[in-house]
Structure 1
Amino acid sequence: MVTTSPADTGSQRELRMRAAVMAPRAPLPRRQRRLKGGTTSFMVVMHVLATVALLPRFWSWQGLAAFAVLYWMTVLGVTLGLHRLVAHRSFEVPSWLEKILVVMGTLACQSGPIEWIALHRHHHRFSDQPNDHHDAGRGLWWSHSEWMLHEIPALEHKERYAGDLLSSPFYVWLDRWFLLLQIPLGLALYWYGNAAGVHGGGLGLVLWAIPLRLVVVYHVTWLVNSATHAFGYRNFNCPDLSRNCWWVAVLSFGEGWHNNHHAHPASARHGLRWFEVDITWLHIRLLQKLGLTRRVRQARYPG
């Protein structure tokens, strides 16, 4: 059980970190100023296809259902699987369940699981400091999504921050081939849409379940990096800009209680006060009742 006081410790390390957070930012190094062609093109294509999905000709209740189910699977895979389970080891589950949750998270197409986890751990090490890859000190747009369109120096330290995963063939394969997961999903949806005579056909189902879902999940995830470092309130005086933002918490299944998370990174529970609803934590509690979790670490708000 983890408990902490929201009072400032006043340590020299925290003072140095706070000074780094508030310092003016130097311009990006020359090597980081160019846009990455592959990532930028992929994001443009996904956003265009997501817009096409919203055309009336592709609307169907089946498409909405596919979007909703896959949104739940993908967001939960990121929040419960990649984030709380693997990145922070806030609890333990059987190996088979970890693999399922990680595959669900990898369906978010936010790079492979090793890269995602390495970058997240790096973010906690240097949160809102100049070498944080989505440093909020560079502005809302940078921390939201611009950072990923440029070279990411933090990836040079992937072995340091995710070395525990590099020995796993499962994680290494997913990290390399994560994009391939969308292919069988798309083929199955296309076949069903045409076979069932869905309005908009198989193409409509694919557009709603893949590009539209991905774009919405992208922005929800990015809001945790941007909005929750700019808007909301703080329960704990962390040496960064993290905040608790209720509407991001709703969209991201509890990840919006970000100040709580930065104060207690190892806690499986992010919503610590009675009104801070944490949907991911409710799923963890369900797994507990089913006997599928152990060593669940939980912080408590000292109020």
Structure 2
Amino acid sequence: MAFIHDVLERPSYGWKDENGNLAKPAPGQIFKEFFSRLNIFRSKKNWLSFMSWAMVAVLAVFLLLFVFKYFSLQGLIIAFVYSMVVMGTHGTIWYHRYCTHGAYKFSNNFWRFVTQNLTLKIIPEEIYAISHHVHHALSDTPGDPYNAQGGFLYCFLADVNHQPINRNMNEKDYQRCLTLMKHTGVTCNSYTQYQKWGSLAKPFNMILGVIANWAFWFTVFYLIGGPALACAIFGAAGFWAVGVRTFNYEGHGKGEDKRREGIDHNRKDMSVNQLWPGLVAGEWHNNHHLFPKSARSGFKPYQIDMAWVYIKLMYTFGAVSQYKDSKAQFLKEYVQPALQPEPVYCPQTGKQIFATK
């Protein structure tokens, strides 16, 4: 467990207080840490965090252009669907189920590349994947990079304050990080380059990839619907990029135990199944924490899982070679036992006389 505890860059306020409990920094401390880690003049190793929020700032310009110059009801509907459903589902498909958990495998690198670039590229894979491994290992305990008990800001700014990898790993631990990322196709630094840049991803390759991705999609949307459509969708992507940073705070009960009997079956952490993230992005979070390596998280009839639909469809066409589906195991362990009749015994003989619920 030493690797899991040390693989992320420790914030200045630490993970634990003097009593070993979660360190809960004040808002001022969180903002101070945030701006310090965005400062590329202070250290070039801040480049990846700076880039993440720089992309949000650029996308905000498109959002303003849409609102004040190209606004239309049709554009608003398109922006809503793109941000909530398309971006949300893609985040589950690519970052969550593939990059982090390897819940399925592609037949070849072409289909991996296509899936990676189905939408605008905003989140660096290493920021999401490495920290999400830690989240599952230390969920709702000190060291969890987006521990909801730390408060809203603790989670909202976690991508800068808590999720970047440790910049002082030895070569052995750095190689372990590379192992966690090798299937994603991200071009990674050598250990010497990592010591210079403080990241797995190579700056040039990452920046070039984002530019190429954005240029492609802007061209596509511009040709389909002109600058109005391009600004609507790019602005929607920026809206999603900010909104997704609130998910884990909500998805873990805002720091409280909001699990419901018969709905949230995982009792090892505070994750909950939420209707909206589940329907629009396939993010049935409590189910996912039960079976993190499953390519499907929507196990019950009402739990629509659009991410699973994409993965299953890709499998049908041969683009995905294999996947893991834990629905049968979920039903066997958590649904069927609840449907079994309870035995009733005769008080005189002590023998079972009939069964009823």
Q: What's the TM-score once normalised by structure 2's chain length?
A: 0.62
Separation of aligned partners in 1, 2:207 and 2:181: 13
Match of 1:25 in 2: 23
Match of 2:179 in 1: 163
1:99 alignment partner, one of 109, 113, 119: 113
How many percent identity over aligned positions?
A: 19
Amino acid at match of 1:25: A
Which of 121-130 and 284-293 deviates more?
A: 284-293
Aligned-partner SS, 2:313: helix
2:313 alignment partner, one of 265, 281, 286: 286
Match of 2:66 in 1: 53
1:260 alignment partner, one of 274, 287, 292: 287
Separation of aligned partners in 2, 1:31 and 1:65: 34
Match of 1:128 in 2: 140
Asked if residue 84 in structure 1 is aligned to residue 116 in structure 2, the reply is no
Query: Structure 1 residues 48, 229: CA separation in 2 closer, same or farther (over 3 Å shift)?
Result: farther
- Measure how far apart 1:270 and its partner are: 0.5
1:147 alignment partner, one of 158, 161, 164: 158
Aligned-partner SS, 1:267: coil
Query: Structure 1 residues 32, 69: CA separation in 2 closer, same or farther (over 3 Å shift)?
Result: closer
Amino acid at match of 1:279: M
- How is 1:234-245 mapped onto 2 (pairs within 5 angstroms)? 234-245=263-274
Instruction: Write out per-residue CA displacement over residues 157-203 of structure 1, whole angstroms, 9 at most, x where no aligned residue.
Output: 7753453435986544654544312134334544x37xxxx6xx52x
**CA contact under 8 A between 2:103 and 2:294: conserved in structure 1?**
yes
Separation of aligned partners in 1, 2:77 and 2:231: 11
For this pair of structures, how many residues does the alignment match?
268
Larger radius of gyration: 2
Aligned CA RMSD, in angstroms, stands at 3.5
Aligned-partner SS, 2:105: coil
Amino acid at match of 2:210: L
Structure 2: runs of 5+ lacking an equivalent: 1-19, 40-49, 189-201, 336-357
Structure 1: runs of 5+ lacking an equivalent: 1-21
Instruction: Write out per-residue CA displacement over residues 104-157 of structure 1, whole angstroms, 9 at most, x where no aligned residue.
Output: 36x24012x2332222222222222221221111113432x2223436454547
Amino acid at match of 1:33: E
Q: What's the TM-score once normalised by structure 1's chain length?
A: 0.72
Aligned-partner SS, 2:63: helix
- How is 1:153-192 mapped onto 2 (pairs within 5 angstroms)? 154-156=165-167, 160-166=176-182, 170-172=186-188, 175-180=206-211, 181-190=213-222, 192=223
Aligned-partner SS, 1:271: coil
Separation of aligned partners in 1, 2:53 and 2:83: 24
Match of 2:229 in 1: 205
Match of 1:114 in 2: 126
Match of 2:149 in 1: 137
Match of 1:216 in 2: 240
Structure number with higher relative contact order (C-alpha < 8 Å, ≥ 6 residues apart): 1
- Measure how far apart 1:66 and its partner are: 7.4
